[in-house]
Amino acid sequence: MLGKTMLAAFALAAAALTVPVALPDAQAVSELPQPVHLSNDDAGKTFDVTVGDQVTVKLQPVVRDGLEFTWEAPMSSDEAVLASRKPDEDDESGTSNFEAVAEGTADLIAVVSCKPVDADHVCPEDVDPWKATVTVTAKEPAPEG
What's the pLDDT tens digit per position in 26-70? Answer: 454 456 677 899 999 999 999 999 999 999 999 999 999 999 999
Assess whether pLDDT exceeds 50 at residue 19: no
SS (HEC) of the chain:
CHHHHHHHHHHHHHHHHCCCCCCCCHHHHHCCCCEEEECHHHCCCEEEEECCCEEEEECCCEEECCEEEEECCCEECCCCCEEEECCCCCCCCCEEEEEECCCEEEEEEECEEEEECCCCCCCCCCCCCEEEEEEEECCCCCCCC
Q: How confident is the model at residue 15 (pLDDT cuts 50, 70, 90)?
A: very low
pLDDT confidence of residue 21: 46
More confident residue, 90 or 101: 101
Question: If you average pLDDT over every residue of the chain, what do you get?
Answer: 81
pLDDT confidence of residue 93: 73
Domains of the chain, each with CATH number or no CATH? 33-137 (2.60.40.1080)
pLDDT tens string 103-115: 999 999 999 999 9
